[in-house]
Chains A and B, each alone.
Chain A
Amino acid sequence: MADRLLAEFEDEAAIIAAIRRLGDEGYGRLEVYMPFSSQEVEEALALATGARRSRLPLAIFLFGIGGASAAYFLQWLLVGYLYPLDAGGRPPHFPLAFVIITFEMGVLAASLCAFFGTLILGRLVRLTDDVQGTPGFESVTGDRFWLEVPVRGASDEPERTRRLLIDAGALRALRLEVPR
């Protein structure tokens, strides 16, 4: 993978403008870092790079169903089949009484999936990555927006892109080298 440029922007408006600009210039695989989840930025980015909606909801749904049915089966297995002792004249297989645990386990499974799904799909279980530690990048959790642009090809390419970014309203653009 090639070098990249990191550009810092004042606010949503600025970075949106930049994204549009780069998009028009034909830059793909842009990456945006932002302090809070800004709908507008994402929409702009989606237009520029065509990112898809999250697949997470589907996974959560499946986990929920799975958890619930597993719970129901286990209950039937334990008190309905393996050792059907008679408690207060209730029939061994007693759906009415199984409902609650089934529901709870379904919710539990779904929630676990939601949490860990977010972490995993969001590439989150880590301490650092190659953009962090870039001087000034902390501002991304403050109030600044950052744009990551991959550069390749001609040797003047980075320089050209930088100028492009500055024109687009970047406060500054840094060249980030990927250690090999």
Chain B
Amino acid sequence: MTHRPRDLRVLPAGDPAEDPEFPPGVDEPPSELDRRAVMKLLAAGAGLAGLGSIAACMEAPSKRIMPRVVEPPELTPGVPLEYATSMVLDGFATGLVVTAHEARPTKVEGNPDHPASLGATNQLHQASILELYDPDRPRGALEAGVPTSLEALLRSIARRAPMPGLWFLLHPQSSPLGADLIDRVRARHPTARFAWYSAVDRRSVYQGARRVFGRPLEPQYRFDLADVIVSLDADFLAAMANSVRWSRDFANRRRLRTPEDRMSRLYVAEPCPSPTGSLADAALPARPAEIRTLAAAILARLEGRADDHALSPRHERWTAAAAADLRAGRGLVVAGDRQPAEVHALAHLINAAIGANGTTVAFTAPAVIDPLGPGLSELAEEIRRGGVQTLVIVEANPVYSAPAALDFAALLARVPETICSAVTHHETSRRCRWFIPLAHYLESWGDARAYDGTISMIQPLIRPMYQSATLPELLAAFAGTEQPDTHRMLLDRYEHGDPLAWQRLLQRGVVTGSAPRGFVPPIQLTAGDRQALVAPTPAEPTGDAAIELAFAPSHAVYDGRFAGISWLQEMPKPIDKITWGNAALLSPATAEALGVGDDDVVRITAGKAQVELPVFVVPGHADRCATLELGYGRWAATPTAEGVGANVYPLRPLATPAYATGAQAGVRIEPTGRRSRLARTQEHFTQYGRDLAPTADLETYRAQPDFTAHLWGDQPTWLPDKRHGTPQWAMTIDTMICSGCSACVVACQAENNVPVVGADGVRRNREMHWLRIDTYREDRGDRVEYVHQPMLCQHCEMAPCEYVCPVYATQHSPDGLNEMIYNRCIGTRFCSNNCPYKVRRFNFFDYTEPTPAPLRLQYNPNVTVRARGVMEKCTYCVQRIRSAEIRARKANREIQPGEVVTACQQACPTGAIQFGQLQHEGTEMVERRKQARHYAVLHDLDTRPRTAYLAKISNPNPRLP
């Protein structure tokens, strides 16, 4: 039942325990914490005292029940509700379904009805819920740092008109409602200007399209139809606007059921291996500036022109193979967002040349408003000219992320009136006169368009925790509305006097059929333009001096706006497994040339800016190039974000914000001689010849389908056989379509109340993730092959951890689960020693007690919050299994296939993780276990894991070595 919550009460800012609205036991997560002290005293004092339930009883007198005064009809204490809403990132909406326990959102899932989600999510969506409960969120409006009344502020804004020199600086927007409001603002303030700014800039996409087709367009890719995909520095599986959807499409074309199935071939040229690159069949390390040449070269080959580009033999071979394949099969070329317009233009030309347009690519009008409108530079220009009287900044954080050359902080100081609105304080907001707290999306009404243009609804899960306004309300105020109310505005726009339709709309979360049809525009390109495009790039100065910097939004904290979310900070990044910070990623050759290794701090200079970062060496990285992650080194944000990593924004040149070539900015990298240990969750990336994650290429697989035969099947044992009648739960994971995006890691953390241990905790190997992704790479001459292996409790039938536990804290359930009972655990840690997969985690300290009150509201009440000194691990989301069981028992039926979905499976964009009962023939999970390429990790130990893996099959071009 997903419908609009009625009568949700405001959560207090303070300790929820004091909140009369929440009976104990629903507002507090179940936990041993509060009683631990008692237990300790008793047991320590009275020696052998405390038989199990003792502590609870010690507490009984203090526990109170406070029922609601009036029970909202749809709300039953203890029964969670789900609501459809959307999260917007730089203008693009992803549909979500959010679970709420007693009116507090606890978990984010994807909305199956939403084209950009199809039920899946990425790590940012999963973690976004934590921002809602951020204890450091501002409590109200400020004027020059002094609290002031939000209503009064909005009213005064609404009354002043017209404002001369009124400028807005917003993230890209796609909200239809927003578009109307902007018009209304313009109507009321004729001189008002709107500038769009995001540190992760997508203008070049639209410029590229305009150059070829005469107007900005949004390419709509069909990865599920393409036989050959060439990615020009495009991480379309993890780092692009529509990645969640594209991952599913891509996976559908790669998922082999039989050796005979056809799969697409993926060419990737990029400076640093990305999740997409780690799945590539032909990966080519190339510096960002080289990409254009590669594109031009491919185009030249396709058009049969003499190739006059100066390419290294290796690049030569790669482009030749790519061009040949593109011509042969149904091809698709994707250019990365950070590449300049030319590359996008070239990509369009290639797609046109191979007839991809209309088959694997179509175009729509951009979902975002005014895609090529004024940006930060225009604003800066105007400020310098003194034309800006009032500057309204919403969310955007230019003081932190603008290139050093711009010196935006100084410019900002020159604006007389500055208003900033954001969910949490950031570098820019602290320098503005007025601060208006922005409502978190889980507390706001609104609408937005998905990447394909589908209109998606945003509805609140909870009344705003603190005094705050939404962007539409803010704009409405400038448009003259004194008491703006987004809900009302939405009703006016969508209800059409039909409450039922409105109800259904909210339940579905999307306006069906609101996506524009894709079309193929005619190419409008003058011969001169074309010539300029295909012309070879002027050879740039080579030599060790000329090193190039490639900037990439962090996979964890994006452009820095999520730096306050501890889950993301502690999420190991897909390729390097670095948490809590960023590094200068170098190729082995470059590192050697510089005489540095992992953890050596280097000083990076570009123009006037200097940054010091520890080095991390990544095989498969392009030489004479360093990849730097954006989004770290915040200095005036929330405590979690501040001082983590180093801020590399100042190094970005104005012209090409995505990369800096030595020629442009005189980039230098020199060792400092100091070391600073990165917090990594994985230190060894090779398999040391152990057959842990087998891989094969398509030919070998077809020749010998059961090449993993030696890695499955039971081995002889004296012990009795274990599979009996009751449902038997199991999981299969297809390493072939796992890009390592880590959405599952965060999803697991959110579902199971997994604590965060901080950088030092990680350095001391004490991270708590129940689900980690082991990444192994094999260095095959000039190419590096990656394989991601999500590693979680394998729920072995002959579990080594069980028979060493002296107190039955971990033992086996009749339905095949390896159960972990926290409140029985005494912490001998023998189970961890004896777990060959090392998936067990131990609470070395009290990680959950210091959790601030608001954050506790996120806890999943169906999962015990673990105390200090107990072991914990993946439970196959047993809470979900058992509640499904209870549902079935009540209805006196069996559990249906697909009824139980684990958190990791639900989040996984590619559907690599499948879970279910072995009895349910025909389900994806069971089918996979029958495939020839399945295997059990560490099979020869005969632990009989219930988690089966499918070997990674790659599809390399035979003509490429």
Point out residues on A near B: beta carbons under 8 Å: 85-91
Contacts and interface: CB of A to CB of B under 8 A. Distances in A.
Interface string B767-805: 000000000000000000000000000000111111111
Interface string B324-341: 000000000000000000
Q: Name which of A85, A87, A88, A91 has the most chain B CB atoms within 10 A of its CB.
A: A88
B798 A85 contact: no
Contact of A88 (B802, B813, B814): B802
B811 A89 contact: no
Nearest to A79: B808
Interface residues of B, number: 17
Contacts of B811: 85-87
B808 A85 contact: yes
A88 B808 contact: no
Contacts of A90: 719, 803
Nearest to B801: A88
Contacts of A89: 719-720, 722, 797-799, 802-803, 812
15 contacts: A85-B811, A85-B812, A86-B802, A86-B813, A87-B802, A87-B803, A88-B798, A88-B801, A88-B802, A88-B804, A88-B812, A89-B719, A89-B799, A89-B812, A91-B720
B812 A87 contact: yes
Contacts of B719: 89-91
A86 B798 CA distance: 10
A89 B811 CA distance: 9
Interface of B: 719-720, 722, 797-805, 808, 811-814
A85 B719 CA distance: 15
A88 B800 contact: yes
A87 B800 CA distance: 9
Nearest to A91: B720
Nearest to B834: A88
A47 B623 CA distance: 103
A97 B808 CA distance: 15
A83 to B, nearest CB: 8
A90 B811 CA distance: 11
Nearest to B717: A89
A85 B481 CA distance: 67
B350 to A, nearest CB: 58
- Ranked nearest first, the 10 interchain pairs of A and B with the lowest CB-CB distance are A88-B803, A88-B802, A86-B812, A87-B802, A89-B798, A85-B811, A87-B803, A89-B719, A87-B811, A88-B799
A91 B799 CA distance: 13
A91 B722 CA distance: 10
B795 to A, nearest CB: 12
Given A88-B803, A89-B802, 18 more contacts: A85-B812, A86-B722, A86-B811, A87-B802, A87-B808, A87-B811, A87-B812, A88-B800, A88-B801, A88-B804, A89-B797, A89-B798, A89-B799, A89-B803, A90-B719, A90-B803, A91-B719, A91-B720
A85 B811 CA distance: 7
A86 to B, nearest CB: 4
Contacts of A85: 808, 811-812
Contacts of B798: 88-89
B106 to A, nearest CB: 31
Contacts of A87: 802-803, 805, 808, 811-812
Contacts of B797: 89
Nearest to A85: B811
A87 B719 CA distance: 12
Nearest to A83: B808
A88 B831 CA distance: 11
A13 to B, nearest CB: 56
A122 to B, nearest CB: 33
A99 to B, nearest CB: 15
B816 to A, nearest CB: 10
A85 B799 CA distance: 13
Contacts of B804: 88
B729 to A, nearest CB: 15
A88 B803 CA distance: 5
B815 to A, nearest CB: 11
A91 B719 CA distance: 7
Nearest to B810: A87
